[in-house]
Amino acid sequence: MTLLGIAILILVIIIFLAVAYFVVKNVAQLVINAIIGLVTLFIVNFFHLMQLVGRPDIGFDWITVIICALAGLPGAILLIILSLVGITL
């Protein structure tokens, strides 16, 4: 193997490790966001806060989990506001 081939191989390995680091870092942030958003919705449902304003509790389904995973606490607040307005997902 030539010196150029070894340099290209090292460069490819460094790029791969950098991409893997950012993916793992973003996945951890996504999981943390999902947990915070779902815990918020769980607390709202546990204390039946939606029923105080005459609305049913917010259900946990794939759409709810995806919104909470991508947006976290703001996503949970968005779901609560949509439920208050009467829009269910």
pLDDT single digits (tens) 40-49: 999 999 999 9
Q: What is the CA radius of gyration of the chain?
A: 21
Burial of residue 49, with CB atoms counted within 10 A of its CB: 0-12 exposed, 13-18 middle, 19 or more buried: middle
Q: How many CA atoms lie within 13 A of 52 on its CB side?
A: 7
In the structure encoding, which two tokens stand for residue 38, read together? Answer: 């779902």
Would you kindly state where each structural domain of the chain is located, as residue ranges?
Answer: 21-85
Helices (H), 1-89: 3-46, 62-71, 73-85
Average pLDDT over residues 51-68: 89
What is the C-alpha separation between 57 and 51, in angstroms, rounded?
Answer: 7
Give me the chain's average pLDDT, please: 88
Q: How confident is the model over 73-79, as a mean pLDDT?
A: 93
